[in-house]
Amino acid sequence: MSLADSYINRANPGTYDAAPGTAPTWAAQTGWTFNGTTQYLLADIAANIGWSVLVRYSGATDLGAPKIIFGSQSAGGGTVRFHIQPSQSNIIYYSHEDSVGVAPGLLAGVLGIAGQQGFRNGVSDGGVIPSGGTGTRPTKVAIGALYEGAGAVFYCNANIQALYIYNVPITPTQVRAVTDAMNMLPMRPQLPRFRSWLTGGAVTQFRKLLGLRTGSRGVPE
């Protein structure tokens, strides 16, 4: 599997694929490695409140400054947000229009947002993320950084092994199933896994996902 192959949306190849802003490095056993200063990927997804995302990563560092592993926000620092920040001064930030911060930070694991709830390693984390943000929602999200208006900011130095995006709020049981599947990924040499289930296909995939929680490949297909 090549770096170019890793950009393909496995749920629907050719639609919502990731594309390099500044390409990360890639290795089969660690996935995408972002340098924290210039590297990021983009996906043509205008993530809305009620959507869900889960990301498995490792090797993040906490420099006491924003290092965002995935997401977007309105231009000029507006309050329409959708992003995950693994650690700033030992706090995780889950943002889905507004933000919730929860200590301690997490430098390796699986973080996610499902609907308006943050999840740490498959378990709900913190309170409900408030809605009601203002600003224009970007039409793209960044992977390895934050997409803000027209470009990337707050780059994250970390390895990303898998990213799943859904256009519906998945349930806590489904979050746990996806998390378990992501944590089985070392069973396979082909990393990372980028999947985006959008425009009506998500519910069917959830039914399949739960049936394949302990499948031989270790990931929902």
pLDDT in tens, 108-121: 999 999 999 999 99
Domain-embedded: residue 217: no
Query: What is the pLDDT, as a whole number, of residue 176?
Result: 97
- DSSP letter string over 127-154? EEPP----SPPPS-EEESSEEETTEEES
Query: What is the pLDDT, as a whole number, of residue 196?
Result: 55
Question: Is 192 a residue whose pLDDT tops 70?
Answer: no
Domain that holds residue 167: 3-211
What's the mean pLDDT in 47-72? 90
* Beta carbons within 10 angstroms of residue 131's beta carbon: 11
For residues 7 and 27, the answer to whether their CB atoms sit within 8 Å is no
What's the mean pLDDT in 76-93? 87
- DSSP letter string over 113-125? EETTEEEETTEEE
Question: Is 194 a residue whose pLDDT tops 80?
Answer: no
Position 107 confidence tier, pLDDT thresholds 50, 70, 90: very high
Domain-embedded: residue 78: yes
Query: What is the pLDDT, as a whole number, of residue 189?
Result: 37
Question: Is 187 a residue whose pLDDT tops 80?
Answer: no
Distance of CA 112 to the CA centre of its chain: 7
Domain-embedded: residue 105: yes
Domain-embedded: residue 218: no
Could you tell me the pTM of the whole model? 0.84
Domain-embedded: residue 62: yes
Position 208 confidence tier, pLDDT thresholds 50, 70, 90: very low
Domain-embedded: residue 221: no
pLDDT in tens, 19-39: 989 999 998 888 999 999 999
Q: Domain count for the chain, please give it.
A: 1
Tokens linked to 199: 């425009």
Tokens linked to 1: 């599997």
Q: Which residue from 193, 210, 83, 211 is spatially nearest to 147, judged by alpha carbons?
A: 83
Domain-embedded: residue 219: no
Position 123 confidence tier, pLDDT thresholds 50, 70, 90: very high
CATH number at residue 73: 2.60.120
Tokens linked to 42: 């983009």
Q: Which residue from 93, 63, 84, 53 is spatially nearest to 198, judged by alpha carbons?
A: 53
Q: Which residue from 12, 31, 129 is spatially nearest to 71, judged by alpha carbons?
A: 129
Lowest mean pLDDT among 81-95, 130-144, 169-183: 130-144
- DSSP letter string over the chain? --HHHHTS-TTSTTSS-EEEEEPPEEETTTEEEEESSS-EEEE-----TT-EEEEEEE-----SS---SEEEE-TTT-S-EEEEE--SSS-EEEEESEEEEESS--SSEEEEEETTEEEETTEEEEEEPP----SPPPS-EEESSEEETTEEES--EEEEEEEEEESS---HHHHHHHHHHHHTGGGSS---EEEEE-TT-HHHHHHHHHHTTT-TTSS--
Domain-embedded: residue 178: yes
Query: What is the pLDDT, as a whole number, of residue 185?
Result: 76
